[in-house]
């Protein structure tokens, strides 16, 4: 679906989650800009024949960079922390924990074939506070890490909204299944959005334009982290102490969607990231790779 927010700003929306696509923002001004490159079919049709001066990539996940190799933008910018996974298959597999947790190399290739991974060429960095002036429209980069180390949002001060990319307000809650993910960073990123109080949010997945109850939606999204935390602590209390045992309780996903092998890997890493956070917070003690509640 195509939503014109103003004469110069258009949202290309995919109203439900479907890999490898996402909601994107198009800016048509003295210069043109696209934020993320995986719009659904009608968005792809919309972009045909429109030259792209600046392609701003919110982060390195494939469902935000999927069409970058085809779009031939003059500049492709991404936060340096996410460039390795966007620029090489090895970097992607590394970030998704395959080298650490999946010994069978055939599965690495099968995963990359299934997601149709293609590396992209990043031509420059995005960083906190960077301002892009397209002529009339201005965009400020907000480094909002946690979902990935280089995850960025984009603030449109004049129009008073933030494109929050994968801080997407989904009922599932934040996803942190990469080795560079961080719960502390995620919580801080969500607090930043709450403190900014934007008039509305454009999210990277699902319903794109969120105007109703933005603070309540952000808090509900954040609170899914605490609900998972409670389930992890319950699981340890019931006598599960290794990462493997805890992940088998599915405190994050509760029910694995297909393909279950892949989502079990995400479950593992998200539980690992969460346990690291709980150890830092002294809510959990780790001894010889076993997790306990403090005495």
Query: Interface with Zn ion by CB under 5 A: which residues?
Result: 61, 166
User: Do 163 and 204 form a contact (C-beta atoms < 8 A)?
Assistant: yes
Strands (DSSP E) found in 53-174: 54-56, 75-78, 124-125, 131-133, 138-143, 152-156, 161-165
Q: Give strand pairing partners of 106.
A: none
**CB-closest chain residue to Zn ion:** 61
Min CB(59)–Zn ion separation in Å:
6
Query: Which residue, 32 or 164, has its beta carbon nearer to Zn ion?
Result: 164
CB-wise, 13 or 166, nearer to Zn ion? 166
What is the Cα–Cα distance from 221 to 164, expressed in whole angstroms?
13
> Which residue lies nearer to Zn ion by CB, 47 or 144?
144
Q: Give the integer Cα–Cα distance in Å for 277 and 267.
A: 15
Q: Which is nearer to Zn ion, 144 or 236 (CB)?
A: 144
User: 167: buried, middle or exposed (CB in 10 Å: 19+, 13-18, 0-12)?
Assistant: buried
Q: What is the nearest approach in angstroms of Zn ion to the Cβ of residue 95?
A: 11
Taking the C-alpha atoms of residue 63 and residue 19, their distance in angstroms, rounded to an integer, is 6
How far apart (Å, rounded) are the C-alpha atoms in residues 174 and 55? Answer: 25
Closest approach, Cβ 61 to Zn ion, in A, equals 3
Q: Least distance from C-beta 114 to Zn ion, angstroms?
A: 17
Return the DSSP state at 148. Answer: S
Q: Which residue number, 61 or 228, has a Cβ lying nearer to Zn ion?
A: 61
Least distance in Å: CB of 249 to Zn ion?
A: 25
Q: Taking the CA of residue 252 as centre, how many other CA atoms within 13 Å lie in the half-sphere pointing to its CB? A: 23
CB of 257 to Zn ion, least distance (A): 16
């Amino acid at each position: 679906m195509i939503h014109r927010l103003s004469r110069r700003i258009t949202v290309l929306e995919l109203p439900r989650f479907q890999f490898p696509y996402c909601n994107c923002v198009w800016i048509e001004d003295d210069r043109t800009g696209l934020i993320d490159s995986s719009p659904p079919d009608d968005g792809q049709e919309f972009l045909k024949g429109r030259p792209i001066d600046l392609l701003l990539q919110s982060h390195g996940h494939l469902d935000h960079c999927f069409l970058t190799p085809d779009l031939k933008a003059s500049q492709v910018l991404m936060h340096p922390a996410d460039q390795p996974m966007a620029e090489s298959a090895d970097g992607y597999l590394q970030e998704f924990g395959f080298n650490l947790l999946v010994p069978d190399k055939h599965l690495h290739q099968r995963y990359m074939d299934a997601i149709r991974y293609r590396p992209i060429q990043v031509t420059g960095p995005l960083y906190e506070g960077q301002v892009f002036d397209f002529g009339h429209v201005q965009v400020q980069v907000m480094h909002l890490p946690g979902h990935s180390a280089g995850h960025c949002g984009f603030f449109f001060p004049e129009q008073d909204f933030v494109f929050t990319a994968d801080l997407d307000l989904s009922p599932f809650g934040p996803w942190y299944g990469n080795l560079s993910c961080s719960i502390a960073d995620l919580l801080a990123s969500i607090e930043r959005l709450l403190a900014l109080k934007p008039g509305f949010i454009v999210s990277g997945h699902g319903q794109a334009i969120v105007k109703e109850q933005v603070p309540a939606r952000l808090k509900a999204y954040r609170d899914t982290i605490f609900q998972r935390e409670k389930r992890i602590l319950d699981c340890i209390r019931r006598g599960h102490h290794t990462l493997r045992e805890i992940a088998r309780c599915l405190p994050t996903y509760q029910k694995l969607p297909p393909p279950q092998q892949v989502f079990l890997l995400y479950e593992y890493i998200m539980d690992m990231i969460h346990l690291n956070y709980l150890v830092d917070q002294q809510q959990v003690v780790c001894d010889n790779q076993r997790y306990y509640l403090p005495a």
